[in-house]
């Protein structure tokens, strides 16, 4: 009887540990972010503000037609690969998250972005799961 109780207690402890060790469910956010950029050669530097990340800095590179942009966030970074096309002075395209650091490690998601050729008035809309 005492032996059965010890096994039951041990199995209960293992079950609780297994449940506690489960990773937290991924969080999915809708993005609505405005950005502004300045370009020097192939280097991009700018700022962003919007939901869900508030405001911060963006750095990246542009090798037409692809821009790689890294958003500096509280708790890490999120990097996207953006491919756009130009019509007049407007740039429209799609982006996909390629990596993240800190609490954004393993980030997934995608969306669209529209802005002006001079780097102004960019709006990023999409989803991010991390």
The helix (H) or strand (E) run that includes residue 58 is strand 54-63
Task: Give the end-to-end CA distance of the chain in Å, rounded to a whole number.
Answer: 48
How far apart (Å, rounded) are the C-alpha atoms in residues 62 and 97? Answer: 16
Convert the pLDDT of each residue in 38-89 to its tens digit.
Answer: 999 999 999 999 999 999 999 999 999 999 999 999 999 999 999 999 999 9
Q: What pTM did the predictor assign?
A: 0.81
Q: Which pLDDT value is given to residue 46?
A: 98
Query: What does each C-alpha distance from 66 to 3, 61, 77, 83 come to in angstroms?
Result: 66, 8, 19, 5
List the domains of the chain with CATH numbers: 25-129 (2.40.350.10)
Convert the pLDDT of each residue in 97-127 to its tens digit.
Answer: 999 999 999 999 999 999 999 999 999 999 9
- Cα atoms in the Cβ-side hemisphere of radius 13 Å centred on 87: 3
Q: Which pLDDT value is given to residue 18?
A: 45
């Amino acid at each position: 009887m005492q032996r059965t109780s010890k096994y039951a207690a041990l199995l209960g402890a293992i079950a609780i540990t297994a449940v506690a060790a489960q990773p937290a469910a991924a969080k999915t956010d809708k993005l609505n972010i405005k950005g502004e950029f300045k370009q020097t050669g192939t280097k991009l530097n700018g700022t962003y503000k919007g939901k869900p990340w508030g405001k911060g800095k963006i750095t990246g590179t542009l090798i037409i037609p692809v821009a790689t942009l890294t958003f500096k966030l509280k708790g890490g970074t999120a990097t996207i690969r953006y491919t756009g096309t130009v019509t007049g002075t407007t740039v429209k395209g799609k982006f996909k998250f390629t990596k993240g650091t800190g609490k954004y490690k393993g980030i997934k998601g995608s969306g669209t972005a529209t802005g002006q050729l001079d780097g102004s008035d960019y709006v990023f809309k999409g989803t991010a799961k991390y």
